[in-house]
Amino acid sequence: MSHPNHFAEGPVLPLWGNDEAQITDAVPTGKQPSYIKDHRKRLRDRFMTGGADAVPDYEMLELILFRAIPRRDVKPLAHKLIETFGDFNRVLSAPIERLAEISGVGDAVITELKIVEAAAHRLARSKVMERHVISSWDAILDYCHTTMAHRETEQFRVLYLDRKNVLIADEEQGKGTVDHVPVYPREVVKRALEINASALILVHNHPSGDPTPSESDIIVTNQIQDAAEALGLVLHDHLIIGKSSELSFKASGYL
C-alpha cells in the first residue's frame, strides 16, 4: 500500500533553533541532492510496507536521523553509532555525553534519539501501569527489558502494588556505575507507606548482561525484605535484568 503523504520531504522546520547548524557543519545548504532524496523515499516506502522487520538496525537509525540531518547521507553516521554502541537499542539508551562524543552528532540528533527512546518507554509503561501484576507479568518483563536492559550503568527501580496486586507506581530509586547502584532499604519501604502500597517488586539491571545476582544483591534484597515484613509489606520478587534474559529471585530460590 502506498502512503504518499507520510514522510513527505518538505521544508525543514526549525525545531531546535540553531541546533541544526551546530550538528550539520560541513553540510551544504540548498536543495537536497536527488540521490539522497531517492534513497530516503525508498527506505521510507520499504518501512511503511514491511514494517520494522523490513529494515536492519542501521536503517532504522537512518529513519530517525533523516529529520535531524536533512541534506546529508546519514548512512555512515548510522553505521558509526551501531559500531560504537553495539545495537539499535543501545544507541537509543546511550548517555547523552557519550552520544555527543561521536563526530556528526549534535543536539538535534540527540534530541531525536531521546524522543524515540522516551516514546518506547512510555508505550511499554502504559501496558503495565494500573494492571494486575499476575495477568500482565509478560508485559512487565517486556517493560523492564525495554527501559533497563541496554543501559551502560546500573539502575534500581521499585514497582509498588496495592492490596489487589495492581501496579500503582514505578519509581527509580537510584542510579549507579557499571557494577554498583546505591540502595537504601529504609527509603524503599518508606515510599511504599507514603503511597499506600501493600507490596513491591524490586528491579535492577546488570550492564554486563549477566543477570546472576552478586553477594551485594542478595544482602540488599534480604535487608529490604526484613524492613518490608516489619511494616506489613510483601516483597514479591527481585528481578535482575540482563541483556537478553532476566533472573527472578523468587523463581531461583533466593526469596
pLDDT confidence of residue 31: 66
Q: Output the pTM of the full model.
A: 0.67
- Tell me the pLDDT tens digit for each residue of 46-59: 999 988 888 899 99
| pLDDT beyond 80 at 85 | yes
H helix intervals, 69-106: 75-85, 88-93, 96-100
The confidence score (pLDDT) of residue 93 equals 87
Nearest-CA neighbor of 188 among 177, 203, 205? 203
Higher pLDDT, 240 or 3: 240
- Which regions of 58-194 does DSSP assign to beta strands (E)? 155-161, 167-175
CA-nearest of 26, 25, 145, 10 to 66 is 10
The confidence score (pLDDT) of residue 236 equals 94
Query: Which of 58-62, 136-140, 204-208 is predicted with the least confidence, judged by mean pLDDT?
Result: 136-140
Residue closest to 174 by CA, chosen among 158, 150, 156, 154: 156
Read off the pLDDT of each residue in 167-180 and give the average, rounded to a whole number: 76
Whole-number Å distance between alpha carbons of 132 and 61: 35
Question: With 60 as the cut, is the pLDDT of residue 3 above it?
Answer: no
Range in 51-55, 157-161, 172-176 the model is least confident about:
172-176
228: Cβ–Cβ under 8 A, 6 or more apart, which residues? 188, 189, 192, 200, 234, 235
- Residue 202 pairs in a beta bridge with 158, 238
Whether the pLDDT of residue 16 is over 70: the answer is: no
Proportion of the chain in helix, strand, coil states, percent, rounded to 5: 45, 15, 40
**What pLDDT, on a 0 to 100 scale, did the predictor assign at position 160?**
95
Q: What is the pLDDT of residues 24-34, one digit of tens each?
A: 433 444 566 77
Instruction: Tell me the average pLDDT of the chain.
Output: 84
